[in-house]
């Protein structure tokens, strides 16, 4: 989102999809009739874009985000139900379809127009404009911990309050009483003076004819009954009993199965293909070469290189056929590249500082370093990482002469529909996309490459096709979290006061604030150099915060140690003018009993990271026995402003910690001869149950703007862990993953530990 500048948007409009969206747009008005027609039978009883009221008084909240294990449907449903005064036990949740009316206008408004205090009179026009922009850009994205803090705040809450006000107005007119005397409770309208009480359903028809307010009156948080309380997640029962339908569960008549392989070195194309043995495998129907494609979107270019697919009557047959293929791939010029070479390149480019760009400068860092009594410096490295969602990439397509249907689990249904339509040469209105629950997404399922592949295959064979990537293809053909090197210097005076902080790292990505620090250091110079590589990269849980959290929170610990000060107390002193950060840090230290002595061979480390509008502190306790690290305990504290779904936030903190712990302990994609080495969980390990620590979560409701929950738990676990390892062993680990080092020694051949 940061690639859209507010100035460019406000002054020039946005050019997208061949058209221009300027700064004045039609007010949305009442969209119900047109939308209901598009929804067909699913549009019955629609009273608002996001609300249906059935004749039995059941209310359905329509959620414009994908469910991938994060519980977003429940949290957004709580926000709508709270403002609607709905009976939670009679509320249903359903995911919105991939059509323009459910594009993410709220995200555009929050990020492009944040801080602008619009008069109520113009808010409908602003929202109408952002709806047009979001539709034009095909934005229906779930990611970036945006759902609650954008759609929840600006769309679901507004929809609930607006629908409640329309219901009150309808009842007042029917009862001939002042509207201010009509109250609501558990999906009922009440007029106490005349002892009237009727269900919302009695007035649904009238409400459907009314135009909702875009500036309704919201509840006082003190009156909340649903938001901020524990409500069992609605997606869990179906996952427990197995009735939830993932995309791989789709079965169509006459359906074939497919799997694919691409060049080991990204970008390679087929030079020679011998498919005779593959075609002789029983059940194999066809061998198809899928052309290379490039799709441009808000997320950047998605490049899918030329691909060979085996189509068969079963996935087993397709997999057997794939093993029988003989493919010679073209050279692309990166066949000699290795991980060691990439980090040597990073080191050269950081040292040269050619065309260094600046993120943040304050004070005169150069002169402070020149006159410092002591300077501490360090280099940190992190490798490429894959996503390894537990559900492998899969999709089903049925492509006909003038229309297509796609069944998939993805993070941007509207964008996928557009991309698939473009690849087929169809109008997007002719493509129907059915989005399913996902077994993890983490940013990987925002890229449409595999969905484009299955659409091509279904068109070629003239039958429905279900494409399933192997785990090996998933690991070797990812859009990886980038490898990064980050170099630091810190300057002290003679009294060991920290005076200056300098940081130069490789390759700026998203979000722009990731390398910034909350600490009150007088002089700061934070910037980056470009050092491009051929490995495709993409969003990974917490994006650049996952790298920079490790870098900055490890180095601030190193700086505290160099000053001879306690890690917690050193941070607290630098945060004395940042009360919100300090409160989170103090709570973590308190709950972890920071000063409690630990047994010999054990250690404790701390971290603090602000990301996606939330502040998280973590304390990790480890035991180190004969060089082996056991993570015993993690204490995590989050201030997400207001915890809409406290149990959901706790679950997301735990999830983010485990995901980040996997990366810190084991995660490493290495490159040899230009290609990814790893292929499955035997050489790209995940944290197993026996390695998982006890995790304690604590929530602070500070009342600040609502922040995210899905990603903020990930950045702080690696630095807190490595700081704990230092506390236990005296060894400073500056390169991940930890598994590459033997802590019985200070240095390993592959890189300096301390």
- Peptide bond between residue 511 and the one before it cis (omega within 30 degrees of 0): yes
User: Are residues 371 and 443 both part of a single domain?
Assistant: no
* Helix residue spans in 693-752 (DSSP H): 717-729
Contact 265, 536 (CB under 8 A): no
- Three-state SS string across 137-161, please? CCCCCCCCCCHHHHHHHHHHHHHHH
Max Cα distance, the chain (Å): 84
Give the per-residue pLDDT at 108. Answer: 78
Q: β-pairing, 256-262 with 465-468? A: parallel
Distance, in Å, from the CA atom of 330 to the CA atom of 327, rounded to the nearest integer, reads 10
Contact 435, 409 (CB under 8 A): yes
User: Are residues 122 and 253 both part of a single domain?
Assistant: no
Looking at 280-408, which runs of residues are DSSP E strands?
284-290, 293-297, 300-304, 307-312, 326-329, 357-362, 374-382, 394-399, 404-408
User: Are residues 460 and 486 both part of a single domain?
Assistant: no
Query: Percent helix, strand and coil across the chain, each rounded to 5?
Result: 35, 25, 40
Which pLDDT tens digit goes with each residue over 542-571?
999 999 999 999 999 999 999 999 999 999
User: Are residues 291 and 209 both part of a single domain?
Assistant: no
**DSSP letters spanning 597-649:** ---TTEEEEEEEEEETTEEEEEEEEEEEETTEEEEEEEEEEEE-SS-SSHHHH
Task: Classify residue 70: in a domain, yes or no.
Answer: yes
User: Are residues 464 and 577 both part of a single domain?
Assistant: no
Task: Classify residue 579: in a domain, yes or no.
Answer: yes
- Three-state SS string across 498-526, please? EEEEEEEEECCCCCCCCCCCCCCCCEEEE
Q: β-pairing, 614-625 with 196-199? A: unpaired
User: Are residues 735 and 622 both part of a single domain?
Assistant: yes
Give the per-residue pLDDT at 183. Answer: 98
- Peptide bond between residue 545 and the one before it cis (omega within 30 degrees of 0): no
Give the per-residue pLDDT at 27. Answer: 63
Give the per-residue pLDDT at 65. Answer: 97
Name the domain boundary from 468, 488, 519: 468
Q: Give 534's Cβ-side CA count (13 Å radius).
A: 22
User: Are residues 604 and 717 both part of a single domain?
Assistant: yes
Contact 608, 716 (CB under 8 A): yes
Which pTM does this prediction carry? 0.93
User: Are residues 605 and 719 both part of a single domain?
Assistant: yes
Task: Classify residue 143: in a domain, yes or no.
Answer: yes
Provide the token pair at 331.
Answer: 């050279």
Task: Classify residue 745: in a domain, yes or no.
Answer: yes
Name the domain boundary from 208, 241, 274: 241
Q: Which residues of the chain have pLDDT under 70?
A: 1-27, 298, 745-754
User: Are residues 423 and 274 both part of a single domain?
Assistant: yes
Could you tell me the residue range of the domain that residue 641 belongs to?
Answer: 353-384+480-752
Distance, in Å, from the CA atom of 652 to the CA atom of 713, rounded to the nearest integer, reads 7
User: Are residues 83 and 174 both part of a single domain?
Assistant: yes
Indicate which CATH number applies to the domain containing 172.
3.30.365.10
Give the per-residue pLDDT at 126. Answer: 84
The angle, 0 to 180 degrees and rounded to 10, between the axes of the packed helices 157-175 and 72-84 is 30
Residues forming a β-bridge with 150? none
Count of domains in the chain? 3
Contact 691, 717 (CB under 8 A): no
Q: How many CB atoms lie within 10 A of CB 558?
A: 23
Contact 542, 548 (CB under 8 A): no
Task: Classify residue 346: in a domain, yes or no.
Answer: no
Task: Classify residue 475: in a domain, yes or no.
Answer: no
Name the domain boundary from 468, 491, 521: 468
Distance, in Å, from the CA atom of 346 to the CA atom of 343, rounded to the nearest integer, reads 5
Contact 662, 737 (CB under 8 A): no
Question: In a 3-state reduction of DSSP, which class is residue 216?
Answer: coil
User: Are residues 15 and 47 both part of a single domain?
Assistant: yes
């Amino acid at each position: 989102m940061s690639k859209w500048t507010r100035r460019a948007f406000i002054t020039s409009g946005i050019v997208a999809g061949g058209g221009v969206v300027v700064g004045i747009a039609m007010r949305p008005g009442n969209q119900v009739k047109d939308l209901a027609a598009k929804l067909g039978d699913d549009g019955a009883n629609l009273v608002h874009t996001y609300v249906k009221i059935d004749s039995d008084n059941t209310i359905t909240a329509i959620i414009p985000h994908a469910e991938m294990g994060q519980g977003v449907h429940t949290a957004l449903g709580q926000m709508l139900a709270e403002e609607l005064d709905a009976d939670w036990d009679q509320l249903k949740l359903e995911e919105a379809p991939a059509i323009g009316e459910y594009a993410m206008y709220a995200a555009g408004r929050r990020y492009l127009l944040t801080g602008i205090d619009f008069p109520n009179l113009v808010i409908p026009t602003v929202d109408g404009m952002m709806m047009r922009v979001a539709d034009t850009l095909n934005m229906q994205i779930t990611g970036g911990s945006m759902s609650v803090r954008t759609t929840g705040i600006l769309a679901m809450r507004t929809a609930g309050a607006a629908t409640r006000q329309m219901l009150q107005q309808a009842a007042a007119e029917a009862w001939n009483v002042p509207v201010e005397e009509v109250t609501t409770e558990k999906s009922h309208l009440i007029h106490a003076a005349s002892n009237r009480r009727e269900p919302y359903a009695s007035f649904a028809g009238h409400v459907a004819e009314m135009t909702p307010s875009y500036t309704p009156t919201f509840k006082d948080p003190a009156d909340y009954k649903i938001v901020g309380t524990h409500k069992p997640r609605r997606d869990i029962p179906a996952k427990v009993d197995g009735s939830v339908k993932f995309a791989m569960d789709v079965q169509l008549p006459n359906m074939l199965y497919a799997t694919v392989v691409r060049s080991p070195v990204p970008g390679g194309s087929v030079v020679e293909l011998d498919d005779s043995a593959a075609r002789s495998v029983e059940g194999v129907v066809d061998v198809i070469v899928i052309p290379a494609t490039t799709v441009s979107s808000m997320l950047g270019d998605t490049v899918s290189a030329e691909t060979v697919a085996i189509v068969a009557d079963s996935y087993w047959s397709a997999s057997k056929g794939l093993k029988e293929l003989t493919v010679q791939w073209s050279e692309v010029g990166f066949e000699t590249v290795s991980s060691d070479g990439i980090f040597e390149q990073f080191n050269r480019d950081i040292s040269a500082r050619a065309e260094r760009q600046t993120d943040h400068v304050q004070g005169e860092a150069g002169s402070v370093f020149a006159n410092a009594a002591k300077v501490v410096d360090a280099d940190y490295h992190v490798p490429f990482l894959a996503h390894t969602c537990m559900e492998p990439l899969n999709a089903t397509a049925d492509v006909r002469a003038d229309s297509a249907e796609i069944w998939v689990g993805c993070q941007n249904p509207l964008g996928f529909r557009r991309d698939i339509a473009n690849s087929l040469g169809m109008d997007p209105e002719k493509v129907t996309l059915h989005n399913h629950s996902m077994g993890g997404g983490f940013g990987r399922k925002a890229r449409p490459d595999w969905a484009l592949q299955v659409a091509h295959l279904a068109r070629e064979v003239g039958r429905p096709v279900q494409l399933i990537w192997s785990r090996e293809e998933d690991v070797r053909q990812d859009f990886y979290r980038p490898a990064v090197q980050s170099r630091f210097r810190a300057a002290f005076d003679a009294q060991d006061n920290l005076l200056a902080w300098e940081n130069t790292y490789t390759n700026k990505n998203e979000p722009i604030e990731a390398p910034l620090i909350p600490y009150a250091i007088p002089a700061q110079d934070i910037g980056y150099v470009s050092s491009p590589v051929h490995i495709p990269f993409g969003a990974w849980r917490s994006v650049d915060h996952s790298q920079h959290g490790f870098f900055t929170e490890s180095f601030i610990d190193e700086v505290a140690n160099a000053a001879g000060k306690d890690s917690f107390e050193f941070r607290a002193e630098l945060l004395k003018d940042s009360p919100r950060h300090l409160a989170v840090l103090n709570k973590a230290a308190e709950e972890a009993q920071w000063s409690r002595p630990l047994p010999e061979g054990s250690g404790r480390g701390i971290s603090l990271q602000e990301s996606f509008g939330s502040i998280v502190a973590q304390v990790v306790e480890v035991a180190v026995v004969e060089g082996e690290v056991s993570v015993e305990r993690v204490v995590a504290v989050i201030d997400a402003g207001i915890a809409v779904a406290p149990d959901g936030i706790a679950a997301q903190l735990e999830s983010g910690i485990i995901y980040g712990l996997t990366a810190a302990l084991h995660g490493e994609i290495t490159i040899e001869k230009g290609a990814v080495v790893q292929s499955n969980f035997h050489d790209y390990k995940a944290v197993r149950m026996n390695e998982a620590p006890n995790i304690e979560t604590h929530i602070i409701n500070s009342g600040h703007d609502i922040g995210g929950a899905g990603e903020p738990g990930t950045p702080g676990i690696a630095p807190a862990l490595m700081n704990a390892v230092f506390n236990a062993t005296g060894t400073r680990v500056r390169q991940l993953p930890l598994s590459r080092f033997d802590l019985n020694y200070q240095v390993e051949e592959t890189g300096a530990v301390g």
